[in-house]
Amino acid sequence: MRFLALFLLFLPALAQPVYLRLPQALLEGVRQGEALAFYGLPYARAERFAPPEGVEPRGLLQAHTPGPACPQRPGLSALFGSPLPPQDEDCLNLNVFLPLRPPPPGGFPVMVFIHGGGFQSGSASEPIYGGAQLAAQGVVVVAPNYRLGPLGFLPWEGGGNWGLQDLVEALRFVRRYAAHFGGDPNNVTLFGESAGAMLTCTLLAVPEARGLFHKAILQSGGCEEVRPLAADLPFGRRYAQALGCQDLDCLRRLPLSAFFREPAVLTQAASTLPFSLSPFKPHVDGRLLPQTPLRALEAGEAAPVPLVVGSNQEELLPFFGAGSWLEVERLLRPVLREKTEAVLAFYRARYPKPQEAYWRLETDRLFHCPALAAARAQAPHAPTYLYRFAFRSPDLPFLGSFHGLELAPLFGNLDQMPFLPLFLSGQARERAEEMGRILRRYWVSFAYQDAPKGWPRWLEASEGEALLLDLPPRPLPLAALDPGSCALF
């Protein structure tokens, strides 16, 4: 098979360099433990505010260091110490990790990971996403960059879904080259966390992406964080006018720094609008994205695709929230509108402190309820599995199972920021490593067999059961995951 074009120029004691031949390129990568890593491979080029065009890797490519990150404002992971590569608009590159052993007949399953960052920040090359330990379990791991913020999702006539188009092009690259990496192009699992999970679900509703992946995992992100294009077009025009432009040609001529200044309209979009109202998201445009992802799932548009979906027990940190009920109402009314009073009454009856009520409400609204909705929509059409991640650091248990925590054990990069302080003690590290082995077993078996296998047995959501991912993992009645408020949102 074409994977035999891989030749390793090292003895056991000499781990670098390693090479892999593609039809028109020779890749120079690195060995990482029991995996090989190839960084920064270009999969597309794109002019600003234009669709991506796929590229063919050519010549000798030194793929041992990350490619550029897409331009962005600092996100949460960067603010907490996760390093980003240098930024450049020519950022449509991806990383590939593959097992250090010959592939089985037909090739390894391929797992394509979409990073989070609220559609405005992040990079596939953040060290927390290093895929070597996951690949060592017998899968090819691919992690692409995609355009972010206004450069990826500015609402404009014709769509503005440039970041979403980037990911479709990345999946086409995987289709073309998976076999050269020892992977099976007919067995691709798409998975993502936070905005990456939302993009994964969005791609389930994109006709151009059908057949490019075959299974999906949504980690802490549902299927409803898209925006109607018509409603956001006025914002796009105001945004351009704030930069002194009336059309895309003018915006293309601006220096990159112009998109990260702070005129009022930019500040509002980037900082003060609630996440659900941010216009920098995929847009239902009638073409690339014909309908909302949740409606597409309900209609059976993703019928062949098995799904794993879940959320973390706390998601938002316990000290996140508002200091008074008036502030809670002020924050929620733009999002909930006429539902505000009913939702507030529900949470005030259960949580007397406004701060706790707010973070629990937002955890339910943004994560727990969308996970349930996605599972209920897909379960009639394909095998669907629901989880709740409840593992927490023994060293800092008061932080709970916060948003993104599962990434550390899943990828096994416990020494990387922002998770390093959570696993400094021997006990915390041992428990996180055990949690990681469990997660990788379930995720990889799902990629191989269309069902997450392990102990305990993980039943389908249609059987009324979910899995609590903790130490030890254990079955959980599906009803236990419903906070009772989902129908109110």
Other C-beta atoms lying within 10 Å of the C-beta of residue 40: 21
Identify the active-site residue in 77, 82, 123, 194: 194
115 tagged catalytic: no
Q: Active site residue: 214, 368, 381, 403, which one?
A: 403
Is 163 in contact with 183 (CB distance < 8 Å)?
Answer: no
**Range list of H helices, 93-226:** 132-135, 149-153, 162-177, 195-204
- Residues 315 and 389: their CA atoms lie apart, in Å, by 10
Alpha helices in 208-263 (DSSP H): 229-242, 248-253
Say whether 161 sits in a helix, a strand or coil. coil
Q: Which two tokens stand for residue 140?
A: 């090819």
- Reading the block at residue 363, the tokens are 């955890």
Dihedral-angle region of residue 404 (phi above 0 means left; psi in -120 to 50 means alpha; beta otherwise): left
Given the residues 298, 315, 406, 465, select the one marked as catalytic: 315
Residue 27 contacts by C-beta under 8 Å, 6 or more apart in sequence?
Answer: 19, 20, 21, 38, 41, 57, 61, 63
257 is catalytic: no
Q: Specify whether the backbone of 11 is left (phi greater than 0), alpha (psi in -120 to 50) or beta.
A: beta
- Which amino acid, one-letter code, is at 48? R
R_g of the chain, CA atoms, integer Å: 22
Q: Who contacts 374 (Cβ-Cβ below 8 Å, separation ≥6)?
A: 201, 218, 222, 223, 294, 297, 307, 309
What distances in angstroms separate CA 108 from CA 111, 140, 180, 216, 476, one per listed residue? Answer: 9, 6, 11, 17, 32
* Annotation says 434 is catalytic: no
**φ, ψ for residue 466, nearest 5 deg:** -125, 180
Tokens matching residue 436 = 């990681």
The length of the chain in residues reads 489
The catalytic residue positions are 194, 315, 403
